[in-house]
Each structure stands twice: as structure tokens, then as C-alpha cells.
Amino acid sequence: MFALAAALPGTPSFVMPAFSATPSRPATANTPLSQPQYTELRDLVLEIFKQYPPSEYHYVGLGRSPTGIISMIQQLDPAAASNLPFSFKGFKYISPDDPLLHEHFKRFLPSASKLGTKKILVIDYVYRGNNLTVAWETLRGYFRKTGRAADGVSVLGLYDDTLNMRASPESPISILIRNGKAGVHIAPLEAKYPEVRKLLQYSHFDDFAQYDSFILDIMASQTNSLNSHELQPRPEYNRLGDFLRKKLRNDKTARAVLKTLFPDTKFYNKQCNEHVAEILVKP
């Protein structure tokens, strides 16, 4: 299970190995992930399922970093996860009630009727947590504006350096955690998921992202509109999905864990051509 840090004093401590000089590369140029990378990514997704059950959450990847996580979840249930193209770099303050943001969220996130009773879990790779913190605040504003409870938004920040979190007490996410904000969670990667940590650190999944990078300050300042209609799905994302789907189909470990997590559902249906299986329990 994650050693989730609910507050800075309780952040788990460990001696962090030095970063490797270069990221771990895929086995071949035509393979998005090596076997060790795939295995760790799978284990991370299964751990997210355990702590944030798919019967209770819709998973949202913030920007391009969580592309691999979201794609793997979508191979299990296409409706269970979404990618939200967004970067808040350079913004000191964004109103949670900004109509441009709400327009953007409306396009990329499930509607209230489709979401049902599920909450949203926003996932990102964090250093200081600026993007994830702003996403948490603005999505809460969006939920309020659309008649939903603001506490329906939680965030999960994946990070690799406990010392950085402690050394940056005024970073946005550190302040939220220290103040005990409900729905804000961080989880270290280094001890259990060193391969995933390197993939995220070196932006490996950027090449396979569903959408190009989308930076708010550039778009909004030039056009006073987010122009999110210009963002179109990239074929590279389908390539990653095809790879993960094939791996999951032959993954006995994943099948065994999923059957344990969801005993009343079927992991793999041979007649299913669109995705591996609809194994997620509906609310």
C-alpha cells in the first residue's frame, strides 16, 4: 500500500538513492515500455484501485505526466478515466470560478450525470505541487458552479523525494497538507516504484500523451479563450493503449489481483474487442 502522507510531520522517511544519470529505456524502439517498467506501472495502478476504488472514483490525469496510468486504467474500462490537458505554469492566482476554466473542464471531464455518485481523483507527478494545487482549487470551484459538492474532488500527488517536500515548507501542496486539507494526498514512488519514478521524472509519457501540452497563460493571454477545441487526440496515445491492452490480456498477475479486488466481475471477456474487460464495479 502507499505510505500516504496525511501531514508533513508524518511523511515517511527513507534514505533516497541518488538519481541515475539516464532514464531506463524501453526494450526496443517499437516498445513503449520495457517489462520492468510495465510491471511497476501495473502494480501502481492496482494499488491506486485498492486505495481509491473505481466504484467510488473517476480518475483524471493532469497534463501529460500520468498518461501511462490513465491509459492502463482505460484499457480496463474506457469510461473510468480521463486525461485533462492543462498546465498552470506561471500563474500566481487563478479564480476557481473562471468561466474559461469551466469551459475547458466541461469538454474533458465527465458530466454530472455520467459521473453519478463518484468523486474525481486528480493524479499528477509533483515537485512543488503548483499544478496539482491549482487544479484542486479550480475543480472544486467548477463542481460548486455545476451544483456538485466541492468535496467530490480529491488529488493524488506522486513524488520521488521526501526531502524535497520537507525542504519546501511553503510549496503549495505542502501548505495544503500541513493545514489538513481533506482530499489532498501525496505518495512516494522511489521505494516501491523506481522505474515509474524515472519514467515520470524524465517525461517519458509526454511522447505518448493523448493531447499536446496545453499551457493556460499562453492561450488565455493571447486569445482570451482557451481554444480547447484545437486540442485533438494524438495517434501516439492509441499506440500506447494497444501495447498496454496486449500486455494486460496475457497478464496472469493482473488477472488474479483484479479478481480479488472485484470478485463479482469478469476480468477478461474474449468477445470484447474494444478493451480488455469491464471489471470496474459500478456505483
**Residue 5 forms part of a structural domain:** no
Q: Are 44 and 113 in contact (CB under 8 A)?
A: no
Task: Please compute the mean of the pLDDT values over residues 205-212 and round it to a whole number.
Answer: 87
**Please, which pLDDT band fits residue 269 given cuts at 50, 70 and 90?**
very low
Distance CA 14, CA 77 (A): 35
Range of the domain at 77: 30-261
Q: Is residue 279 part of a domain?
A: no
Answer whether residue 275 is part of any domain.
no
Q: Which residues of 109-137 are buried (b: 16+ CB within 10 A; e: fewer)?
A: bbeeeebeebbbbbbbbbbbbbbbbbbbb
pLDDT digits (tens, 9 = 90+) for 20-52: 333 444 444 468 999 999 999 999 999 999 999
CA distance readout (Å), 199 to 3, 141, 145, 205, 263: 20, 32, 36, 7, 32
In this prediction the pTM is 0.80
pLDDT at 23: 41
Considering the domain boundaries, does residue 179 fall inside one?
A: yes
* Secondary structure element (H or E) that encloses residue 82, with its range: strand 81-84
Does the residue 277 lie in any domain?
A: no
- DSSP-based three-state secondary structure for 84: strand
Residue 136 grid cell: 484542486
Instruction: Note the pLDDT of residue 165.
Output: 54
Measured between alpha carbons, how far is 261 from 279 in angstroms, rounded to an integer? 9
Q: What is the pLDDT of residues 87-96, one digit of tens each?
A: 766 555 566 6
pLDDT of amino acid 101: 78
Phi and psi torsions of 267, nearest 5°:
-75, -40
> pLDDT value at position 164?
55
Residue 92, domain member (yes or no): yes
> How far, in Å, CA of 101 to CA of 118, rounded?
21
Contacts with 123 (C-beta within 8 Å, 6 or more apart), sequence order? 48, 59, 60, 61, 62, 66, 69, 70, 155, 156, 158
Dump pLDDT digits (tens) for 176-206.
667 667 788 888 888 899 999 999 988 899 8
**How many structural domains compose the chain?**
1
Q: Band of the pLDDT at 217, cuts 50, 70, 90?
A: low
